[in-house]
Structure 1
Amino acid sequence: MSQPKNSLVVRALLKGLLLLALCGLAGAGWAAQVVGTVVQLSGPLLSKKADGVVRILSMRSEVESGDMLVTEKNTYAMVKFIDNSEITLKPGTTFKVENFSYDAGKPEADNASFNLVKGGLRSVTGLLGKRNKEKFAMKTPSATIGIRGTTFIADIVEPGEEAVASRLAYNLASTAALDRLAAPVQPLMLAQLTLPSPTAARAPGLYVQVLDGLIHVTNPAGTSNFSAGQFGYTPSFRTPPVILPVNPGIQFTPPPAFSQSTGPSSSTGPGKSNIVDCEVR
C-alpha cells in the first residue's frame, strides 16, 4: 500500500513543480521589454516603473518600455535604444518611453512612442525611424513631433511664477467683465496687469531645432514641417507651430564625452548590465 501512496506523492510534487515553471514563464512573458541602455551619464538619473518602483540608474543600466526617466538639476543622460537610435536628456527633464518595440525581422511591429513631459532632449533616428518613419511619435504638452530620418532638439519652456500669476489675474478680470452680476472691470485694471516681457526670457511653449533631416510638428491647430537648420515654436495645443527666423535661445550642451563613440552598436538588444541598480519602493 505504501508504494502507490509514494507514487501519488511524487506525481503531486511533479505537478506542483510544473505549475511553478508555467507561472514563471507567464511572468517572464508579461515582464516589460528591455529597449535601451544608458551609455552616457553625468549625474543622478531616476527611472520610475509602471508598478511605482523607482530605480537610480547608472552607466549601462537597462531601460524598459514604460519607464519614466527623470534627470536631476545638472544631469545629462544618453540612452541608446535597440535599433541604434539615441535620446539624450538635458538637466531637469521628465521623459517617458510609452511604448517601444523593434525587431529586425518584423518591421510591421515597429513602434516608438515617447512623451517629453518637461525639459528637453536631442533625438537621433535609428533603424526603426529610417524604415518606418510614421511609427515614431514624440509627444509634448504643445504638439507631437514626427520624423523623416532626423536629428533634432526639442526644448520645453514652462511658464514662470510671474507669468502664471499674470495670466490668472487676466483670466479672472476677463471673467468678471463678462459677468453682469460682478462689479464692472475698468480698462485701467487690465492695463495695469504686469505681463512677462518677451525680451526678458523665452515665452513658454515648445521649441525645436532640426540638425539633420526633417520633422513635422502637429497639434489640433495645424501642422508645420521643419528642415535642417530651421527653428520652430509652438506655444500651446491651441496655436499652430511656426518657423522662427533665428535661434530663439535653445542651448543643448552635454559634456564633451557625449560626442564620443558609445561603443559597438547592436540592433538585437543591449548587452546585459553587470551594474546593480538601487531600487526605492
Structure 2
Amino acid sequence: MKKYFLFFVLICLLVLPCKECPADSEPVIGSVRTVSGQAYVLRGELRLKADISLQLKEGDVMTTGSPGSMGVILRDDTVLSLGPDSRLELNQFTFVPAKGEMSLFTRMLKGTATYLSGTIGKLAPEKVKMETPQTTIGIRGTRFLIRVSPP
C-alpha cells in the first residue's frame, strides 16, 4: 500500500504545475546573434541584457543605447540589425509552413534597422509588415534599411 501511495505522489508531482516554475509557454521566435555596447531585450517588466544566443519571444522589444547595436535572426532566417539608439518591437511572428501559416509584424519606434528577408518574406511577402510612427510598410523586397527620427 505504501508503494502505491508513493507512486501516486510521484505522478502528482510530475503532472501538477509548479507555482515557482515560470509559465514559459511562449515559443521561441529567434535569438540574438551579435551585440555591441548597450543592448537590451524588454520582455514585459523584465529588462534582459542582450547576450549572444538570448532567445527572443513574440512581444519582445529590442533596444540599443547610444553606443550600441544588436543583430538577431528569427526562426525563418529573417535577419534584423539595430543601430545605436534604436527601439524595435517584435509584435507578431507566426511560422508554421506546413500549415501555410506565416506572418511577421514589427514596429520600429526609433533609430535605424536593416532587414534581410527570410522564408516568410520570400514565400508570403504580403504577410510581412513593419510599422513606424508615421506609416506601415508592406515588405515586398528582400532587404532594406529604415531610419526613424524622433519627432
What TM-score results when the alignment is normalised by the length of structure 1? 0.48
Q: Aligned to 2:96, what secondary structure does the other structure show?
A: coil
Aligned length: 149
User: Gaps (5+ residues) in structure 2?
Assistant: none
- Which residue pairs with 2:137 in the alignment? 145
Q: Could you tell me how far 1:59 is from its partner in structure 2?
A: 2.1
- Which residue pairs with 1:133 in the alignment? 125
Q: Could you tell me how far 1:29 is from its partner in structure 2?
A: 8.1
8 A Cα contact 2:73 2:80, kept in partner: yes
Q: Could you tell me how far 1:41 is from its partner in structure 2?
A: 2.0
Q: Could you tell me how far 1:146 is from its partner in structure 2?
A: 0.7
| 1:53 and 2:49 are equivalent in the alignment | no
2:112 to 112, 117, 120: 120
Distance 1:156 1:105 in 2: 35
- Which residue pairs with 1:19 in the alignment? 15
Greater strand content: 2
- Which residue pairs with 1:75 in the alignment? 68
Going from structure 1 to structure 2, the CA distance change for 1:29 and 1:156 (only over 3 Å counts) comes to same
Q: Could you tell me how far 1:134 is from its partner in structure 2?
A: 1.5
8 A Cα contact 2:35 2:50, kept in partner: no
Q: Could you tell me how far 1:135 is from its partner in structure 2?
A: 1.2
Greater helix content: 1
8 A Cα contact 2:62 2:88, kept in partner: yes
CA RMSD of the aligned region, Å? 2.2
Alpha-carbon displacement from aligned partner over 1:149-207 (angstroms, at most 9, x marks no partner):
32111111113xxxxxxxxxxxxxxxxxxxxxxxxxxxxxxxxxxxxxxxxxxxxxxxx
Distance 2:95 2:46 in 1: 25
Distance 2:119 2:40 in 1: 27
Distance 2:23 2:93 in 1: 16
Counterpart amino acid of residue 16 in structure 1? C
- Which residue pairs with 2:87 in the alignment? 94
Q: Could you tell me how far 1:60 is from its partner in structure 2?
A: 2.5
Going from structure 1 to structure 2, the CA distance change for 1:15 and 1:84 (only over 3 Å counts) comes to closer
Counterpart amino acid of residue 99 in structure 2? K
Distance 2:7 2:32 in 1: 47
Going from structure 1 to structure 2, the CA distance change for 1:110 and 1:28 (only over 3 Å counts) comes to farther
Distance 2:85 2:41 in 1: 13
Counterpart amino acid of residue 39 in structure 1? R
- Which residue pairs with 1:38 in the alignment? 32
Q: Could you tell me how far 1:70 is from its partner in structure 2?
A: 0.6
- Which residue pairs with 1:264 in the alignment? none
Counterpart amino acid of residue 126 in structure 2? E
Instruction: Return structure 1 stretches of 4+ with deviation > 6 angstroms.
Output: none
Q: Could you tell me how far 1:15 is from its partner in structure 2?
A: 4.6
8 A Cα contact 2:37 2:69, kept in partner: yes
Alpha-carbon displacement from aligned partner over 1:12-64 (angstroms, at most 9, x marks no partner):
414522432xx36xx888522211122222212111112x1111012232222
Distance 2:62 2:74 in 1: 14
Q: Percent same amino acid among aligned pairs? A: 25
